[in-house]
Amino acid sequence: MPVFALEAEQEDWAGRLRALAADRLRPLAEKGEPGRVNRPLLAALGELGLLERLFTSGALELCLLRESLAYGCTEAETALALQGLGAHPVLSAGSAEQRERWLPAVREGAAVAAFALSEPGAGSDAAALALRAEPDGAGWRLTGEKRWISNAPGADFYTVFARTGEAPGARGVTAFLVPAGRAGLTGEPLDMLSPHPIGALAFDGVPVGPEDRLGGPGEGFRVAMGTLNRFRPSVGAFAVGMARAALDATLAHTAGREAFGGVLADLQAVAHRVAEMATRTEAARLLVYAAAAAYDRDSGAPDVPRRAAMAKLLATETAQYVVDHAVQLHGARALQRGHLLEHLYREVRAPRIYEGASEVQRTVIAKELYRGAGVVR
């Protein structure tokens, strides 16, 4: 499949999703409380069969899904993506019992999933995790903190990564599925710039057993990286969706806004800026599609991490650029609470940090380039 052009059927599907997001999901999002899990919105995503696609879609289809939802309703896109991030480790590394217990409810939007990796002292450096899994008979007790966890503390279960100590660094981390009601687990919401739910979790001797493990002992880092490699190109797609929404709003505004005896679009400085916004958005979009297509061809191919990192880096940085310039061209109206661009301006900042900050993506890209050139660094 060529990655530089979508088939007509794909374009039609994306268009229907954009309309669905604006007409059906946006009203539900507007009724939600910022910073809290919106369960009616999740239920609608399940009813429409969109959560099911998290488990059945290839990477390119997932990118189209996330980009299209982001264009019409960023809250719906984020709710869907967080379900995928929290549940993918269960799908890829969970036992049959774990999958049967949790995944049907995730697909229906009845159970809220969360991916609990970041800690106060371990964000971009995921190998530096400090949450301890201390042996306790046949199982362990989790002690420590997680922070900046999307869907916390409102999730029904958490994919938690803790240090079991089989080896130093990344090789001593194990993944666990921890239900929200487990003794010793508490949480609190964090008041963040981004409007989606984010919180902190405290583990005070939370008991987990072999039946709660996702994958084998010491395999947690592999589980985490497998999930992130799966979703990084689609984080870029989320960013592209926001960029395209901001670009379209800017085209409409500058073509109709009267100024200096004409409209804004008549000014060369404005027209050139819009052209730059459009060019960068299209470049990011194509790189996201190329990374997703590479993952679909062979998720274990050596170029997949580099492509995924490039896609996330360029798309998230581009979206920040496009939204910022869209605000500038709209003027003060774009800063008014409730304006599309005011909303996008708050939404667009976080993707440059989560699931690997831009600086981490550059490090990944450079390492892969040097490795491909036969240079060990």
Q: So which residues are the catalytic ones?
A: 355
Report residue 318: phi and psi, to 5°: -65, -45
Task: State which H helix or E strand residue 82 sits in.
Answer: helix 74-93
Q: Which H or E run contains 143? A: strand 139-150
Task: Report the C-alpha gap between 120 and 129 in whole angstroms.
Answer: 9
Strand 185-189 and strand 258-259: the pairing is unpaired
Nearest to 232 by CA among 113, 83, 118, 81: 81
Relative to beta strand 132-136, strand 185-189 is unpaired
Sequential DSSP letters for 254-271: HHH-EETTEEGGGSHHHH
Alpha-carbon gap, residue 292 to 296, rounded angstroms: 6
Q: Which amino acid is located at 151 in the chain? A: N
Q: Dmax over Cα atoms in the chain, in whole Å?
A: 80
Output the six-digit token pair for 30. Answer: 């507007």
Question: Looking up tokens 């993707």, which residue turns up?
Answer: 351
Instruction: Write the CB contacts of 309 (distance below 8 Å, at least 6 apart in sequence).
Output: 232, 356, 361, 362, 364, 365, 368
Quote the CA–CA distance of 122 and 338 in Å, as a whole number. Answer: 34
In which element (H, E) is residue 19 found?
helix 8-20
What letter does residue 331 receive in the DSSP assignment?
G
